[in-house]
Amino acid sequence: MTQAQIVQKTADFVKEKFSHEGTGHDWWHMYRVWQLAKQIAQGEKGADLFVVELGALLHDIADWKFHDGDSSVGGKAAREWLENQQVDHRVIDEVAFIVEHISFKGGTNQTPMRSLEGKIVQDADRLDALGAIGIARAFAYGGSVSREIYNPDVKPKQYGSLDDFKKQIADNHTVNHFYEKLLLLKDRMNTKTGKKIAEQRHEFMEMYLKEFYKEWDGKA
């Protein structure tokens, strides 16, 4: 198989696994991350596009398999799929590393991403949590775990550690998620292309929140 055929076959596999998923981790998320990652890669010199595309398509494979966010599980699932496609071992190692290290775990916890390809895929994934799409995904996710849209009595917190972040309780509301994660992402972008797109999307979310509070208070 050519690289292009492997990429297409992987896209078909991911599409089948993630269709009709209602929490914002659906096939279309994988699709956008794939497209965004290719776009970012064009602005960065020296990225291996094959690794970028496979990493983008497979980045959330753990969520499909076990839904508990255990990232070593995702790495294994990606490895198994790529081995079955007879992908080169160097490429498999790079992609598995991306899948294992992509997730933002909140607070001051910075996920180190050692490869350029990983930085690109991580930026693409973060971008899909921002802007109009990011807002839709946040509320979809919040609803899926029965969170309130907003509650002015519950103020946002900063989580110092991974454990703290995991302890986020069900009575936190989705608007807090903007302050606890989404609005922090633009300063954590790895690539200049990613940062530029993040800044536009960040600005849109600020505008959205302004309008949201206005309407919340019942003002026209």
> Which residues contribute to the site for Ni ion (CB under 5 A)?
60, 125
Q: Examine residue 138 and tell whether it contacts ligand ADP (CB under 6 A).
A: yes
Stretch that binds ligand ADP, among 78-86, 138-146, 148-156, 209-217 (CB under 6 A): 138-146
Task: Write the secondary structure of 124-174 as one string of H (helix), E (strand) and C (coil).
Answer: HHHHCCCHHHHHHHHHHHHHHCCCCCCCCCCCCCCCCCHHHHHCCCCCCCH
**Got the DSSP string for 32-48?**
HHHHHHHHHHHHSTT--
Q: Examine residue 194 and tell whether it contacts ligand ADP (CB under 6 A).
A: no
Q: Examine residue 10 and tell whether it contacts ligand ADP (CB under 6 A).
A: no
Q: Examine residue 137 and tell whether it contacts ligand ADP (CB under 6 A).
A: yes
Q: 96 is in the binding site of which of ligand ADP, Ni ion, none (Cβ under 5 to 8 A by kind)?
A: none
Q: Which residue lies nearer to ligand ADP by CB, 8 or 111? A: 111
Q: Which of residues 148-177 bind ligand ADP (CB under 6 A)?
A: 168, 174, 177
Cα 220 to Cα 203: distance, rounded to the nearest angstrom = 22
Q: Which of residues 64-93 bind ligand ADP (CB under 6 A)?
A: none
Q: Which residue lies nearer to ligand ADP by CB, 84 or 160? A: 160
Q: Quick one: tokens of 164?
A: 């703290």
Q: How many CA atoms lie within 13 A of 212 on its CB side?
A: 15
Q: Which residue lies nearer to Ni ion by CB, 5 or 144? A: 144
- Interface mask (CB under 6 A) for ligand ADP, residues 95-134, using x and -? --------xx--------------------x---x----x
CB within 8 Å of 55: residues ≥ 6 apart: 37, 94, 95, 98, 99, 117, 118, 121
Query: Could you say which of 75, 107, 142, 194 contacts ligand ADP (CB under 6 A)?
Result: 142
107: DSSP letter: T
Smallest Cα–Cα separation from 16: which of 84, 68, 64, 76?
64
Q: Which residues bind ligand ADP (CB under 6 A)?
A: 24, 103-104, 125, 129, 134, 137-138, 141-142, 168, 174, 177, 182
